[in-house]
Amino acid sequence: MKVDFSEVQGIIRTCRRVTSRHLIFRFDSGRGARAFIRELAERITMADGDPNSAPDPLLNVGMTFNGLQALEVDQAMLGEFDAVFRLGPPTVKMALGDVPGSRSDPANWWENRFATDDVHCLVHLYAQSDDAAADAVQAVRQLADSTGVTELIPRRDGTILSGRWFAVRKMHFGYTDGISQPDIFWDDETPPRSPEQIDFRNFLLGYSTDKYASAPSSGAAADFARNSTYGLFRWIYQDVAAFNQFLAVQGPELFPELPAADAEELLAAKMMGRWRDGTPLVLSPERPDPQLAKSNDFNYAIGDPDGQRCPFSAHIRIVNPRDTPLDPVVVEGVPRVLRCGMPYGAPLQGTTDDGADRGLVGMFLCADLRKVVHSLTSWVMRNDFSPVYNANRRVQDPLFGNRAMPGTRAEFSIPRVGGEVTVKSLPDFVHTKGTAFLFYPGKTALIGLSQGAG
């Protein structure tokens, strides 16, 4: 079986552009929605050809479950979709860590401008320049106007969500991103080149097997969804001033033997599992090494069984535990996601907040959304998937956990030779401002949706 890329939206292969725009829409009538999708389908960047040299903009479109309902997709068919996708983000808020009453409470998402239930469709535009992005936005808005589709503006100041790399692959908090992506084999007829390569069924719908389950799993619904994918879309605010302040105070306290600036860097690295240039701690625990900044060739159980190089709760050790032993009671395996997010907002230096909005427009693509939400995002909030974690002292991802999560401690333990050091009261560094579960239709589904599937 070889995947036909002309059937798949390009976002699965690339979103490498300088800047992005994310337009949010509500469908007010099935007819208008179908006309919108029909016209848009002509402009979608598919995954064939060389996506890296495709002309601006890269355009991709995803619909929520409510969006598919508004498009009047057959109810029996919709019932076959992934359970978490059907429930929608507010219903699974605890697995996402969006605890009611905290700053991530879904009740406050989208800056209170509209309800998550009203989000039906997102159009993602990626471009090499702001001018190209502005033209693309205008063209999509014209289409929405002419088909009676309503744009939802998620910010009180009237601006839309837009991402931008402000330095090469640098994110807020100073880390480098885009190093680790699953290496996918798209062609069963050619065996994988290495054991690390991952089956495309982890990402594409319509090929469900016992080993790589996805929903819809069979029948007409699976035929409809073939070559589509799911996406978890997260608008995440990052509090850079609080993070910098934390490093400045805690770094020298935890590592008094180091000069203050080095102590800050070491603490930042321990929280991520990589130095800010990307060097994995497992490979170089003492200092960043430019030769290793893009390295992805490492494991934990063999290279660092005690967490003395990379703490067990470091971000990358949670979201891709690699060879870490998993708890057989709670775990059905580690889902892999394709990440195509981008930072948004201007960078901030120092420890004084300027009140501006900044963070990550996070996008995580997968075929099994239920598994991603109930494992990856839930593990970030509560480290409970492996015997390496203390079952009597449940902790979180030190960077991205919501400290209001019940049954967890806002602590971060850093094992070291001679005993561990612990940060006792981690602050919140992020909060969620909006979430959508999206279905990115492949070609068959796009045609079906344009015409009125079912």
Q: CA-CA distances (angstroms) from residue 4 to 112, 228, 438?
A: 41, 12, 22
Among 337, 363, 423, 445, binds ligand HEM (CB under 6 A): 337
Interface pick for ligand HEM out of 179, 258, 293, 334 (rule CB under 6 A):
179
Residue 103 buriedness (CB in 10 A; 0-12 / 13-18 / 19+): middle
Helices vs strands, H then E, count in the chain: 13, 14
Q: For ligand HEM, how many residues bind (rule: CB under 6 A)?
A: 24
**127, 376, 388, 405: which one binds ligand HEM (CB under 6 A):** 376
Nearer of residues 177 and 289 to ligand HEM, judged by Cβ: 177
The stretch near ligand HEM (CB under 6 A) out of 39-47, 65-73, 373-381, 410-418 is: 373-381
Nearer to ligand HEM, 31 or 339 (CB): 339
Among 158-166, 223-231, 312-320, 431-439, the segment contacting ligand HEM (CB under 6 A): 312-320
Q: For residues 437 and 430, what is the distance between their CA atoms, to the nearest angstrom?
A: 20
Cα–Cα distance for residue pair 422/72, rounded to 1 Å: 53
Is residue 320 a contact residue for ligand HEM (CB under 6 A)?
Answer: yes
Peptide bond connecting 216 to the previous residue in cis, omega within 30 degrees of 0: yes
Q: Any contact of residue 268 with ligand HEM (CB under 6 A)?
A: no
Check residue 430 for interaction with ligand HEM (CB under 6 A): yes
Q: Could you tell me which residues are beta bridge partners of residue 436?
A: 233
Please choose, from the candidates 424, 399, 437, the residue with its C-alpha nearest in 3D space to the C-alpha of residue 318.
399
The DSSP code sequence of 52-106 is GGSPSPEEEEEE-HHHHHHTT--HHHHTTS-HHHHH-TTTTHHHHT--TTSTT-G
Alpha carbon distance 202, 336 (integer Å): 7
Q: Is 274 in the site for ligand HEM (CB under 6 A)?
A: yes
Taking the complex as a whole, the smallest distance from the CB of residue 407 to ligand HEM amounts, in Å, to: 19
DSSP letter at 400 equals T
**Residue 285 touching ligand HEM (CB under 6 A):** no
Q: Considering beta carbons, is residue 48 or 177 the nearer one to ligand HEM? A: 177
Rounded least distance, CB 316 to ligand HEM, Å: 4
From the list 32, 90, 148, 178, which residue makes contact with ligand HEM (rule: CB under 6 A)? 178
- Tell me which stretch binds ligand HEM (CB under 6 A): 3-11, 43-51, 199-207, 316-324: 316-324
Q: Closer to ligand HEM by CB, 228 or 435: give it.
A: 435
Q: Is residue 180 a contact residue for ligand HEM (CB under 6 A)?
A: yes
Cα angle vertex 115, ends 319, 100, to 5°? 55
| Binding footprint of ligand HEM on the chain (CB under 6 A) | 171, 175, 177-180, 236, 238, 274, 315-316, 319-320, 337, 339, 359-360, 362, 364, 376-377, 380, 400, 430
